[in-house]
Structure 1
Amino acid sequence: MRLDVNDVSVTLARADIVKSVSLRVEDGRFVGLIGPNGCGKSTLLKSIYKVVRPSAGGVILDGTDVLRASPKTVARMMGVVGQFNELSFDFTVREMVLMGRTPHKKLLDADSAEDERLVEEALLTVGMLPMAGRSFLSLSGGEKQRVVLARALAQQPRFLVLDEPTNHLDIKYQLQILSLVKSLGIGVLAALHDLELAAAYCDHLYLVKQGRIYAEGPPRSVLTREIISEVFEVDCQIYENPVTGGLGIAYLESGRVAASEAAAARTRS
C-alpha cells in the first residue's frame, strides 16, 4: 500500500506551516520525518490523517483520495499513533484498544470473539495485557503510548502514521516499539525526534526545515555533519557505532569542536 503526498500546504491562523510538501512511502517501507521542533512535521502528519485540512495539495493512499474519503474508509486502511493521548472520559485499557475495531463494524454490532482475540493479541504485543483492566487515565505517559499503539494494531491497518511514537518511553520500550513497527512489514511514516533511532530503523528520511523538505534520501545521505549543523544548529561528529555497525552521532559543544577533531585525527593516525 503506497502513500503519495502531493504538494501539500497547510495554513493555520494565517501562518504558512507546511509549504508545498511532496513525499512518497512505498509499500513495506519505514520512512522517517525528521526536523527541529516547530518545523511542521506534526501538522503535515495531521493533514495526512485528516485532522487538519490542507489549503492545497492531495493525499493518495493505495489509489484512495484520503481527503475526500470518509473517515471510516481511511481508518480501515490507516492506523495512527499521535503525540497526545489525553481523554476527558475514562476507559479501561481493554476498552481503549477495542476502539480500534470500530472501523470494521456496523453501527450496532457487538464485540465478537475475534475482536476480543485481536485486542488481547495487541495488548500482549506491547506488553500491556496485565493492565487490561486498569483505568487508562491512571497510566503513565509511556504506558498510554503503548496502549494507543495497541489500539492501532487492533485496527489491522495496512499503513501506519506515527507522530513521535517514542515520546515519554523508556529506552527499552523505544526499541521494542520501533522494532515491532518495523517487523509489521507495512508502509510506515513516522515523525521521529531521535536522529540515531531514525538512522537505525528508517529506510528513507525526509528532513523538514521551516515547513519545506530540506533533504531526503537514505539516512546516511541525510544525516551528515553539514546538514545537521544547518538545520538543527548544533555541531556533531558522525561515526560508525562499533557495537551495532549503525550510524552514531556525537553532539558537541562549540568550544569542544576543535579538540574533538584533533583527537579524531590522532586516532586515525
Structure 2
Amino acid sequence: MRHINDFTPDDLAARVLHRDGLMLVVDKPAGLPVHAGPKGGANLEQMFDALRFGLPRNPALAHRLDKDTSGCLVLGRHRKALARLGKLFSNGRVAKTYWAVVRGAPEADEGRIDAALAKRSPERGWWMAVDPAGQPSVTEWKVMARGAGLAWIAFSPLTGRTHQIRVHAAHIGLPLLGDPIYGAEAAGGAALHLHARALSIPMREKLPPVVVEAPLPPHMAATFAALGWEAPAPISTGDVAPI
C-alpha cells in the first residue's frame, strides 16, 4: 500500500473483508482515524461513499478503532442494521480478538485482567487509567510467542472501554510496542503494534455468526518476520457477496 496520506476511497473499497445486505467489515489501515477529530484531516468516514455498493446511503460506523490500530472495522449498511450491531457490541456479544506485540515476557501463558477504567482527564476523554471507581473492564490474554524481550499476545476484551487493551497491558507490566501514551516509547520509535485480528458477529439469531479475520499490517508482519513468528492461516475471511 502507498503512504497513508495517499490512501483513497478506492483503496478502502479494496480492503472490504466481508459484505452482505446488513454490514461490511473492512480492514482499517494503521495511521488513519475513523472519523475527523477537532482539527479535521483525512479520515475513513469521509470515504464511505465508495462503500455504498448500490445502496442509497453510505454505511456508518458500528464501533471505533484507534487511529493507529489496524484491522477489522464493522459498518452497518442501514439504520436497522446499525441498531442491531449497536446492541450486539454493547451487550458484549461480538467476540473480538486483537493481536499485539508487547515489551516484556510474561511468566504465565495466559491470564485475565479485571481492572476498572476511568477517564484520566475530563478534558481528554480518550486518556484512560486504571481506577477502582471506574467502569468494569475485563480482558483475557494468551501468549502466542516470545522472543528478543518481546511477546506476541492475543487479547480478547470482554468489555469495550476506550484504550482498554493498551491500558490493561501496561497495567500488568507489558506495554504495547510502539505505544507512547501508556508505554515508554520514544517519539519517532516503533509504530503501535495493535491489530484487530478477528471478529465473530452473531448478526442473525438462527444462523452461525459471521467470522472475519484481517491480515497483519506491514509493520507488524515485518516484526513477526524478524522474530521468526509465523501467523496461523486464516480460518475465514468472511464472504464478499454481491448484495
When you count strand as a share of all residues, which structure comes out higher? 2
